[in-house]
């Protein structure tokens, strides 16, 4: 694959604590186990796309600490171009509680991710202009996100935004987004309509009216609901038994970009992305090694 993907986003070290249940206010509990994984929503997206064969360049920031060096080496080992990554301050961290039923609660320390600026993105303008897709999330400051979207929109680079963590997005920004991939909570926040499966169409339509090209709502084991132009509907996913749901949405977005670049029809790209995300939740950590059978040239649809 010669197609290029630019990722502007976050890089974290994930400190994962396995617990019987998510801790409550005023409660002290013991953990069953502890792991250190590579994470950050941007890095998760980049790693998925790179493992599936894309030519990926990352724009972001890590710290000058040991965690930063480890994170850079991890990206480089997987063929990701890190020349647009700055070193500044302390590397971002995510403190994750992982419950016995595979749900999670995450405490973020932005660290160097908070230092990603519009000026840094502007300095890497050519990277975005020469890419086929731009992947974004919301774990870095909004001015950097807005600048990246401005550059991509101006150069006709397709834009995928995973609106997580949930954050208000202006109508002007939304009007430039080609693919928006919210989960239930994020859809409710962006549309202003309380989540209801019977009103998915209405909530998505509201975002389409704001100018979003395609809305794809990730619904976990229920699959994905999409709305694009006059086409919409619920698409299935493999019902995997989850071990760790961290990074599932990131894997979905990274896979979606690769599938669309490979010429998959939209519906097939969404099902494929759901299946890769389904595999990710069966593994611990947000950046597991993706088996060969999920590569685009080997993937077999189950339907």
Q: What is the pLDDT of residue 31?
A: 94
In a domain, 98, yes or no: no
Measured distance CA(33)–CA(21) in Å, rounded: 13
Q: What is the pLDDT of residue 1?
A: 43
Write out pLDDT tens, residues 71-91: 999 999 999 999 999 999 999
- Span 46-67, average pLDDT: 97
In a domain, 100, yes or no: no
**Mean pLDDT, all residues of the chain:** 93
Tokens representing residue 232 in the block: 């919409």
List phi, psi (to 5°) of 206.
Answer: -60, -40
98 falls in which pLDDT band (50, 70, 90)? confident
| Run of H or E including 62 | strand 55-62
Residue 277's DSSP bridge partners are none
In a domain, 72, yes or no: no
Write out pLDDT tens, residues 121-137: 999 999 999 999 999 99
Residues in contact with 10: Cβ distance below 8 Å, sequence separation at least 6, in sequence order? 40, 41, 42, 43, 60, 92, 110, 113, 137, 139, 140
Q: How many distinct structural domains can be found in the chain?
A: 1
Q: Where residue 48 sits, what CATH number does that domain have?
A: 3.40.1190.20
Give CA 157 to chain center in angstroms. 18
In a domain, 77, yes or no: no
Tokens representing residue 227 in the block: 């709305």
Catalytic residues: 250
Predicted confidence (pLDDT) at residue 302 exceeds the cutoff of 70: no
Write out pLDDT tens, residues 204-254: 999 999 999 999 999 988 889 999 988 999 998 777 888 878 889 999 999
In a domain, 175, yes or no: yes
Q: What is the pLDDT of residue 108?
A: 85
Predicted confidence (pLDDT) at residue 171 exceeds the cutoff of 80: yes
CB 48 within 8 A of CB 137: no
Predicted confidence (pLDDT) at residue 301 exceeds the cutoff of 80: no
In a domain, 212, yes or no: yes
Measured distance CA(286)–CA(96) in Å, rounded: 11
The overall longest dimension of the chain from CA atoms, in Å, is 53
Q: Say what percent of the chain tops pLDDT 90.
A: 79
Write out pLDDT tens, residues 185-213: 999 999 999 888 778 999 999 999 999 99
Residues in contact with 215: Cβ distance below 8 Å, sequence separation at least 6, in sequence order? 180, 182, 187, 204, 207, 208, 226, 227, 228
In a domain, 97, yes or no: no
Who has greater pLDDT, 166 or 111? 111
In a domain, 164, yes or no: yes
Q: Say what percent of the chain tops pLDDT 70.
A: 99
* 149: containing domain: 4-9+41-61+115-294
2 falls in which pLDDT band (50, 70, 90)? low
- Compute CA distances 43 → 100, 226, 286, whole Å: 26, 25, 9
How many CB atoms within 10 Å of residue 126?
Answer: 12
- Compute CA distances 128 → 41, 80, 284, whole Å: 18, 15, 32
């Amino acid at each position: 694959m010669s197609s290029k993907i630019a990722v502007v986003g976050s890089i974290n070290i994930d400190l994962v604590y396995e617990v019987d249940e998510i801790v409550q206010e005023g409660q002290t509990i013991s953990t069953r186990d502890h792991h250190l994984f590579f994470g950050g929503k941007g890095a998760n997206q980049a790693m998925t796309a790179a493992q599936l064969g894309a030519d990926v360049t990352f724009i972001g920031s890590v710290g000058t600490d040991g965690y930063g060096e480890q994170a850079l080496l991890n990206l480089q080992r997987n063929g990701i171009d890190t020349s647009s990554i700055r070193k500044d301050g302390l590397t971002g961290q995510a403190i994750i509680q992982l419950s016995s039923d595979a749900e999670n609660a995450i405490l973020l320390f932005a660290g160097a991710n908070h230092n990603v600026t519009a000026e840094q993105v502007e300095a890497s303008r050519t990277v975005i202009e020469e890419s086929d897709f731009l992947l974004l999330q919301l774990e870095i400051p909004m001015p950097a996100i807005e600048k990246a979207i401005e550059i991509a929109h101006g150069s006709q680079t397709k834009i995928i935004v995973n609106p997580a963590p949930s954050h208000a997005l202006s109508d002007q920004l939304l009007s430039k987004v080609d693919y928006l991939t919210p989960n239930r909570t994020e859809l409710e926040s962006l549309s202003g309509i309380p989540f209801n499966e019977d009103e998915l169409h209405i909530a998505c339509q509201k975002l389409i009216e704001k100018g979003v090209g395609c809305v794809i709502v990730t619904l976990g084991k229920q699959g994905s609901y999409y709305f694009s132009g006059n086409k919409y509907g619920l698409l299935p996913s493999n019902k995997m038994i989850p071990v760790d749901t961290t990074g599932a949405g990131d894997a979905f977005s990274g896979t979606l970009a690769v599938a669309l670049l490979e010429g998959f029809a939209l519906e097939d790209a969404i099902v494929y992305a759901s299946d890769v995300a389904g595999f990710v939740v069966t593994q611990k950590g947000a950046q597991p090694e993706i088996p060969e059978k999920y590569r685009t040239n080997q993937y077999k649809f189950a339907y």
